[in-house]
Amino acid sequence: MVVNWNRKELLRACLASLARQRNIGFETIVVDNGSLDGSAEVAKREFGARVIRNPTNRGFCAANNQGIAAARGDFIALLNNDAEAEPGWLEALHSACARRADVGMAASKVLVWEDPRRIDKVGHLIYPDGQNRGRGSGAPDKGQFDREEEVLWPDGCAAMYRRAMLDQIGGFDEDFFAYGDDAELGLRARIAGWKCLYTPAAVVRHHRGTTLGKDSARRLELIERNRVLLALKLFPWSLLWLNPVYFVARLVAGAAAARRGAGDTAYFPGLRGKWAMARALLRGDLAALRLAPRMLRKRADVRRIRKLPPSEVRRLILENRLSLRDIA
């Protein structure tokens, strides 16, 4: 399943890579969020994809939920429209998911499209304030991630989910719209007792930051808002009370990185750029505050699916913790 919004050429390359998948039967569903560039027509005419058309951009979460509802298989794979899968990708994900009944998610080996010798992500890690990032992000690929192993959750850029798991816990939280949504779904699944398996045989190449752009204040606002919503909804109280402390520590580390011209701050140069970042973070926090009552109600609903006690959730988060250096 592919969610698309105005990326015709990227979508064409993505669907061409799916057409080359081998040794497995599947259907291709494209959920188009009101594209104006003819990309939906390309998906249907050139690739015979099943296309669901939205008149407006409903966001990554709602569009994925539409595709999940329409899909007929027992396993559902997601591939970003700015990603291209190697021919054995789908078969490898299915094999990882299908061999164990407790595996509800499978993660891919995602490489940087512009430099496939470099890792984009191989599963996910999280910082204790809710900010999350791909495991191994930016590292040279030297074979250090060539072992199949359990990881925290997959990146929604290239992942597989078991239908039975989604039926039990629900799909993507549409309040997230985009960014951090795969983390929320993944942690919710882990709380419900499901596991995630990373398989290095499922290889994808990914164009980084093409949806809104890494210098987008809107992107930064959504990331900030959603890391707060994630913590409010799913973190144990023992970590949630410490969230401001972890957040301040991350800001200090980010400021130190900015002085070196490193980290995400490099995409917001000069005083004007830093002011734009600060305003985006503030807007994200205010938006999270407005949604906080709804997230707390959803937090209560999570009890219905809970298998891991809060102490185990805390241990899971801290064992898969990003370092301050990595998160900055």
Residue 158 lies in a domain: yes
Residue 103 lies in a domain: yes
* Segment 250-289, tens digit of pLDDT: 888 877 776 766 666 656 666 777 788 889 999 999 999 9
Q: Is the dihedral of CA 23, 80, 258, 184 positive or negative?
A: negative
Domain check: are 63 and 178 in the same one?
Answer: yes
SS3 219: helix
Q: What is the pLDDT of residue 213?
A: 55
More confident residue, 253 or 19: 19
Domain check: are 54 and 178 in the same one?
Answer: yes
Domain check: are 179 and 302 in the same one?
Answer: no
Domain check: are 249 and 280 in the same one?
Answer: yes
The helix (run of H) or strand (run of E) holding residue 108 is strand 103-112
Residue ending a domain, among 206, 234, 261, is 206
Domain that holds residue 128: 2-206
The residue-averaged pLDDT of 197-214 equals: 82
Mean pLDDT computed over every residue of the chain = 93
Radius of gyration of the chain (CA): 19
SS3 234: helix
Residue 248 lies in a domain: yes
Domain check: are 55 and 197 in the same one?
Answer: yes
Per residue, what are the HEC states of 176-196?
HCCCCHHHHHHHHHHHCCCEE
Rounded distance between C-alpha atoms, residue 90 and residue 202, angstroms:
7
Domain check: are 136 and 227 in the same one?
Answer: no
Question: Is 89 within 8 Å of 108 (Cβ atoms)?
Answer: yes
Residue 149 lies in a domain: yes
Residue 262 lies in a domain: yes
Domain check: are 37 and 94 in the same one?
Answer: yes
Torsion of CA 94, 108, 79, 295, to 10 degrees: 100
Rounded distance between C-alpha atoms, residue 42 and residue 15, angstroms:
10
Residue 15 has pLDDT above 60, yes or no: yes
Residue 312 lies in a domain: yes
Segment among 2-16, 31-45, 168-182, 201-215 with least mean pLDDT: 201-215
Give the ranges where the chain is alpha helix by DSSP (H).
8-19, 39-47, 59-70, 89-98, 163-169, 181-191, 217-234, 237-240, 243-259, 270-301, 310-319, 324-327
DSSP string, 273-294: HHHHHHHHHHHHHHHHHHHHHH
Residue ending a domain, among 206, 226, 259, is 206
Residue 212 lies in a domain: no
- Percent of the chain beyond pLDDT 70? 94
Contacting residues for 169 by C-beta, under 8 A, at least 6 apart: 185, 188, 189, 192, 194, 305
- Which amino acid is present at 140? P
Task: Using CB atoms within 10 Å of the CB of residue 226, give its burial: 0 to 12 exposed, 13 to 18 middle, 19+ buried.
Answer: buried
Residue 211 lies in a domain: no
Residue ending a domain, among 206, 228, 263, is 206
Question: Is 252 within 8 Å of 240 (Cβ atoms)?
Answer: no
Domain check: are 93 and 14 in the same one?
Answer: yes
Segment among 34-38, 205-209, 267-271 with least mean pLDDT: 267-271
Domain check: are 111 and 232 in the same one?
Answer: no
Domain check: are 42 and 131 in the same one?
Answer: yes
Q: Model-level pTM? A: 0.93
The total number of structural domains in the chain stands at: 2
Residue 212 has pLDDT above 60, yes or no: no
Rounded distance between C-alpha atoms, residue 192 and residue 172, angstroms:
15
The residue-averaged pLDDT of 318-322 equals: 95
CA distances from 184 to 3, 119, 165, 171 (A): 18, 23, 14, 10
Residue 215 has pLDDT above 80, yes or no: no
Question: Looking at the DSSP assignment, which residues form a beta bridge with residue 83?
Answer: 206
Terminal-residue alpha carbon distance, the chain = 32
State the CATH number of the domain containing residue 44: 3.90.550.10
The helix (run of H) or strand (run of E) holding residue 104 is strand 103-112
Q: What is the pLDDT of residue 163?
A: 98
Domain check: are 166 and 249 in the same one?
Answer: no
Domain check: are 53 and 107 in the same one?
Answer: yes
Two tokens, residue 327: 């998160």
